[in-house]
Amino acid sequence: MIASRASKIEDPVEKLRFLKTTEKRFSQIEDLLLSPHFWWLSNRKIWITVAFLLLIPTLSLLRRSPLPVIDASAVAGGKLSTVRPAPEVPLEKAYLIDNRGGVETWSNGLHIETRFTTSNRPREYYVWNRNAPQASLSRLPSQQAAGIVYHTTESTLEELEETQLRRLKLLGESLLQYVQKEKAYHYVIDRFGRVFRVVVESDAANHAGKSTWADEEWAYIGLNDSFLAISFETQTRPGDESPEITQAQVDSGRMLTRILRSRYAIRASNCVTHAQVSINPSNFQIGYHTDWAGNFPFEAMGLPDNYELPLASLFLFGFSYDGTFFAATGARMWKGVVSSEDLLRSRAGKDSISVAQLRTQLRNQYRRLSALLPESNEPAGTTDSRASNPRQENP
């Protein structure tokens, strides 16, 4: 190699200088090898080299895009540590500054009306350590909500005009009475942007039905207990992927999300829509409920585009989807679905099995874990939107 490089140098002076320098380097190496400190030196060099080699990939990981990305290479040996969410930015603490006449005033300017507030059973939920596949379920401190699920009420709407004020108010009142009776959501945001607390935050609400989600640490089965519910008063029309909400609803949704995230240290990646978490275990299909299957204004809520996150139901528990799902959702959740499929293929490849075989294993995992859930934690049915008939949705 040295001769080959030397032969390419045409200038004879340069060629000689190259050969002399090379010879000198070899001589220094030879001296080093013969020195009594050789092993100490060489070991130190080895350690420095190893540390450096380890440092490079670590730094490159840290320097990558802050957007949620999929690290398919981590899907090995049963370890499903695949979702690397955006780094969490500490949220400014929001606190209650006044509470009178059935209205709470919060430090970020949000007013929460409490005249429809009701209780349900106290929150109590179990999680699965997804990095220890053989693990059982663990019970987490019951007061600590893990996430937020966004819903639409799918209730009857009236034109948002001043002349319709009486009917608008009537519809809003009857909706809130219904939600209160069904203990359906923790919060409802009406079309004027007014925020109503219905089920108290310390209790479960019947909002998610059969559902699942996962962050990088825990998998959640049945989100009625573990996740808080915020529902926007609106209706998804058939074939319409983007239910309309008013700017007032967006503003209130953002402030409420901020309050809840700061109170319970909720990760941004655990703020998701009902369509992302809904499942039907009887046929192992996703998207039984389809509210906010597309165009949920994540950014306006102060969140990253969580539609990019893979769906735990698909990549962790082997659920599937069919044309009905895409017909109902308009395929707006394709990013998460594609990410999930990539993860499945990658893991199946590493385990040298087919994707179908992997799905069977993951479904058995779901069956094993859901059978461990205590009966009290079994999700109560929700009357939320359904893929087979989205117009059926009443809260």
Residue among 174, 189, 222 at smallest CA distance from 382? 222
Q: If binding is defined by CB under 5 A, does position 130 make contact with Zn ion?
A: no
Distance from C-alpha of 118 to C-alpha of 203, rounded to nearest angstrom: 9
Q: If binding is defined by CB under 5 A, does position 386 make contact with Zn ion?
A: no
Cβ at position 387, least distance to Zn ion in Å: 12
- Cβ–Cβ < 8 Å for 283, 319: no
Stretch of 72-80, 168-176, 258-266, 272-280 lying at the interface with Zn ion (CB under 5 A): 272-280
Name the burial class of residue 335, with classes exposed (0-12), middle (13-18) and buried (19+) by CB atoms within 10 angstroms of its CB: middle
**H/E segment holding residue 97:** strand 96-100
Q: If binding is defined by CB under 5 A, does position 186 make contact with Zn ion?
A: no
Cβ at position 241, least distance to Zn ion in Å: 15
Residue number, 80 or 199, with CB nearest to Zn ion: 199
Question: Which x/- pattern, by CB under 5 A, does the window 282-301 give for Zn ion?
Answer: ---------x----------
How is residue 206 written in tokens? Answer: 């019947």
- Write the CA distances from 74 to 35, 213, 271, integer angstroms: 44, 19, 24
Whether the CA torsion 267, 272, 274, 276 is positive or negative: it is negative
Cβ at position 249, least distance to Zn ion in Å: 15
Among residues 183, 274, 359, 386, the one that binds Zn ion under rule CB under 5 A: 274
Among residues 94, 148, 384, 390, the one that binds Zn ion under rule CB under 5 A: 384
Residue number, 233 or 384, with CB nearest to Zn ion: 384
Size of residue set near Zn ion by CB under 5 A: 4
Name, in order, each residue with C-beta under 8 angstroms of 67's C-beta and a sequence gap of 6 or more: 86, 304, 305, 308
Residue 303 has a CB neighbour count (10 Å cut-off) of: 20
Cβ at position 293, least distance to Zn ion in Å: 10
In the chain, how many H helices and how many E strands?
Answer: 11, 18
Name, in order, each residue with C-beta under 8 angstroms of 376's C-beta and a sequence gap of 6 or more: 121, 124
Distance from C-alpha of 79 to C-alpha of 133, rounded to nearest angstrom: 7
Cβ at position 82, least distance to Zn ion in Å: 26
Cβ at position 227, least distance to Zn ion in Å: 11
Stretch of 108-116, 156-164, 273-281, 340-348 lying at the interface with Zn ion (CB under 5 A): 273-281
Residue number, 125 or 185, with CB nearest to Zn ion: 185
**H/E segment holding residue 28:** helix 12-34
Residue number, 336 or 390, with CB nearest to Zn ion: 390
Residue number, 194 or 274, with CB nearest to Zn ion: 274
Residue number, 273 or 377, with CB nearest to Zn ion: 273
- Cβ–Cβ < 8 Å for 242, 293: no
Cβ at position 123, least distance to Zn ion in Å: 18
Where in 207-246 is the site for Zn ion (CB under 5 A)? none
Stretch of 16-24, 60-68, 266-274, 373-381 lying at the interface with Zn ion (CB under 5 A): 266-274
Where in 138-157 is the site for Zn ion (CB under 5 A)? 151
Residue number, 197 or 274, with CB nearest to Zn ion: 274
- Cβ–Cβ < 8 Å for 314, 341: yes
Residue number, 303 or 344, with CB nearest to Zn ion: 303
**H/E segment holding residue 231:** strand 227-232
Residue number, 293 or 316, with CB nearest to Zn ion: 293
Cβ at position 274, least distance to Zn ion in Å: 3
- Cβ–Cβ < 8 Å for 271, 147: yes
Q: Residue numbers of the site for Zn ion (CB under 5 A)?
A: 151, 274, 291, 384
